[in-house]
């Protein structure tokens, strides 16, 4: 099964397995990963599932849509080149594992 | 802080409050009481993705199953609070047990205004609010070919667009002359009317449901004397705040439970947050029905309950997904506020700025998240943004520029 590694600001890391097609926000919320909120339910409307993707895993990522790109300007923690909304990144296919850092602030 | 806090209602507001109390170090007991039988869940997808796809959808929980135990939050599901005794500081539950509290929070939300015309009691006439409603609706939608939607508010139109996208014939009856008339500018309302009609939805304005003849299928009679056959009638005609329990305990209620800016009722040990709370601030009263309002009020109240008195002051924002179109609203406008168009509605990507006394108070955006993101920043900073400034620069440019004092 695809695996997501969540790294907290204090350095602790947690691995979460997801079904094919599962996204980062849903995996975090259903597994109780701190620091991922997902207030809008996964519709790229609230920008509270912001993560920083490990640059080495960037190649397999789905492309950034215009909507996600624009909503990333709404994040509470600083946006970087590695910023994504967790609800817009699904695992599966070529993307079987990914490491993401959880920002220190989400709201 | 070792006080015991009892929260009635485990929706977005109640669960957020419990979580933020623990984040701020509240050490006392936290009890969440909810009449629903299942784990607390996300509501926004219910009128959108949940009914849009013919495939079995997954329910999105608000928190993980073990979250409540891990955070020492006692979650009592399937338990209805039936009485509050404020003098004794106890709440009676539907199973007869009594729970004491040091602080009590009403997060009781709202319920659907029920369609009450003749024929509305038929099981094929459905309101949409809870997970149970959504599951019933999904089952009935399979095989349905014609649906009548009563009410063109957010829920009605979200559902109508989802059903239309599944190839179902959809007629929307709305008794007011404009869609979304409580929520958006006249310009945006008119744009949505055209957009939904363009997608094949029959939208009849100024025409409500008069009665439903229950036959093999349903024959809906409108107030204009028209009739329309349907396999299913779905209504979204507004909600009523759940105030009965608060009212019976002697708390002042009027369109919600009356609270001050710190979300406190007239009883200093009792508070209200979310859809059920009518908040007084700067001489006005506001009761909102949205996830953002529920979650942000809960976060604000958690600070107060942890010893840091906080007046609720977040900028309101909303969203709605109507078929292909994403609506986002930042700020609260009044019908009398003026409107300034930003962008070209023909492109299906534009915003409408709302101004009061020449100053920006809200922005409605269609498929333009960048405008919404910028508007939230500008409004939160309390900057004075004028029509002239909007004419000369994009919202994003204004948000990125050095702040100008209001």
Of A39, A47, A71, the CB nearest to B295: A39
Q: Is the pLDDT of residue B104 over 70?
A: yes
Distance between CA atoms of residues B304 and B320, nearest Å: 31
Cα separations in angstroms, A64 against A93, B125, B254, B361 = 17, 41, 46, 31
Is B240 part of the contact surface with chain A (CB cutoff 8 Å)? no
Tokens 């009605």 belong to which residue? B156
Q: Residues B128-143: pLDDT tens digits?
A: 999 999 999 988 998 8
Asked if B262 contacts B302 with a C-beta cutoff of 8 angstroms, the reply is no
Joined together, the tokens standing for residue A11 give: 């350095």
Beta bridge partners of B319: B328
Q: Is the pLDDT of residue B358 over 80?
A: yes
Distance between CA atoms of residues B396 and A74, nearest Å: 11
- The residue among B370, B375, B381, B398 with the most chain A CBs within 10 A of its CB, best to mutate, is B370
What is the average pLDDT across B211-229?
Answer: 96
Of A30, A67, A107, the CB nearest to B326: A67
**Predicted confidence band of residue B404 (pLDDT cuts 50, 70, 90):** low
Share of chain B above pLDDT 70, in %: 99
Joined together, the tokens standing for residue B38 give: 């299942």
What pLDDT does residue B60 have? 87
Q: Residues B221-277: pLDDT tens digits?
A: 999 999 999 999 999 999 999 999 999 999 999 999 999 999 999 999 999 999 999
What pLDDT does residue B50 have? 80
Inter-chain touch B60–A39, beta carbons under 8 Å? no
Residues of B in contact with A32 (CB under 8 A): 63-64, 66-67, 70
Average per-residue pLDDT for chain B = 95
Sign of CA dihedral B249, B252, B254, B260: negative
What pLDDT does residue B46 have? 87
What pLDDT does residue B403 have? 66
Inter-chain touch B326–A71, beta carbons under 8 Å? no
Residues of B in contact with A41 (CB under 8 A): 42-45, 60
Is B325 part of the contact surface with chain A (CB cutoff 8 Å)? no
What is the average pLDDT across B293-304?
Answer: 97
Q: Residues A8-61: pLDDT tens digits?
A: 999 999 999 999 999 999 999 989 898 999 989 899 999 999 999 999 999 889
Model pTM score = 0.94
Of B44, B49, B373, the CB nearest to A71: B373
Of B64, B66, B291, the CB nearest to A39: B291
Inter-chain touch A73–B319, beta carbons under 8 Å? no
Query: Could you give the 3-state DSSP secondary structure of residue B176?
Result: coil
H helices present in B178-225, as ranges = 186-198
What pLDDT does residue B405 have? 54
CA distance B214 to chain A (A): 37
What pLDDT does residue B55 have? 73
Inter-chain touch A45–B328, beta carbons under 8 Å? yes
Q: Residues A45-103: pLDDT tens digits?
A: 999 999 999 999 998 899 999 999 999 988 999 999 999 999 999 999 999 999 999 99
Q: Is the pLDDT of residue B365 over 80?
A: yes
Asked if B128 contacts B46 with a C-beta cutoff of 8 angstroms, the reply is yes
ipTM comes to: 0.88
- The DSSP string of B23-52 is HTT--S-EEEEESSSS--B--GGGGTHHHH
Inter-chain touch B374–A43, beta carbons under 8 Å? no
Q: Is the pLDDT of residue B87 over 90?
A: yes
């Amino acid at each position: 099964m695809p695996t997501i590694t969540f790294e907290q600001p204090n350095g602790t890391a947690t691995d979460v397995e997801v079904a094919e097609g599962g996204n980062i926000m849903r995996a975090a919320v259903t597994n109780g990963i701190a620091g991922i909120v997902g207030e809008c339910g996964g519709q790229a409307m609230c920008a509270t599932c912001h993560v920083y993707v490990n640059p080495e895993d960037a190649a397999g990522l789905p492309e950034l849509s215009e909507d996600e790109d624009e909503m990333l300007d709404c994040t509470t923690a600083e946006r970087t080149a590695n910023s994504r909304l967790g609800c817009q990144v699904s695992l599966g296919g070529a993307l079987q594992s990914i490491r993401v850092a959880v920002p220190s602030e989400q709201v | 802080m070792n006080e015991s806090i009892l929260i009635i209602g485990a929706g977005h507001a109640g669960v957020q409050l419990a979580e933020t109390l623990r984040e701020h170090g509240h050490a006392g007991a936290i009890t969440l009481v909810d009449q629903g039988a299942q784990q607390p869940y996300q509501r926004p997808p219910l009128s959108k993705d949940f009914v849009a796809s013919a495939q079995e959808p997954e329910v999105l929980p608000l928190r993980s199953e073990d979250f409540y135990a891990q955070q020492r939050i006692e979650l009592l599901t399937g338990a209805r609070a039936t009485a509050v005794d404020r003098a004794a500081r106890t709440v009676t539950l539907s199973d007869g047990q009594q729970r004491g509290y040091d602080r009590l929070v009403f997060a009781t939300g709202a319920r659907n205004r029920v369609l009450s015309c003749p024929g509305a009691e038929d099981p094929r006439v459905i309101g949409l609010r809870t997970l149970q409603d959504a599951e019933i609706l999904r089952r009935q939608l399979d095989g349905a070919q014609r649906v009548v939607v009563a009410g063109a508010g957010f829920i009605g139109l979200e559902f109508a667009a989802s059903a239309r996208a599944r190839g179902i014939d959809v007629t929307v009856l709305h008794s007011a002359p404009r869609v979304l008339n409580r929520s958006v500018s006249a310009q945006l309302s008119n744009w949505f009317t055209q957009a939904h009609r363009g997608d094949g939805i029959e939208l009849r304005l100024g025409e409500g449901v008069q009665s439903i003849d229950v036959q093999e299928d349903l024959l809906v009679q409108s107030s204009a004397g028209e009739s329309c056959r349907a396999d299913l009638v779905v209504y979204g005609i507004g909600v009523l705040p759940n105030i009965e329990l608060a009212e019976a305990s002697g708390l002042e209620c009027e369109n919600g439970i009356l609270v001050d800016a710190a979300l406190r009722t007239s009883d200093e040990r009792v508070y209200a947050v979310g859809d059920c709370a009518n908040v007084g601030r700067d001489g006005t009263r506001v009761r909102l029905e949205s996830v953002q309002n529920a979650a942000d009020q809960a976060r604000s109240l958690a600070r107060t309950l942890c010893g840091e008195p906080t007046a609720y002051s977040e900028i309101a924002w909303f969203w709605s997904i109507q078929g292909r179109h994403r609506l986002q609203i930042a700020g609260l406008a009044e019908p009398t506020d003026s409107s300034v168009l930003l962008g070209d509605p023909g492109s299906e990507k534009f915003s409408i700025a709302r101004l009061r006394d020449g100053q920006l108070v809200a922005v409605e955006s269609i498929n333009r998240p960048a405008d919404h993101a910028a508007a939230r920043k500008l409004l939160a900073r309390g900057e004075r943004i004028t029509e002239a400034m909007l004419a000369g620069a994009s919202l994003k440019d204004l948000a990125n520029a050095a702040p100008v004092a209001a």
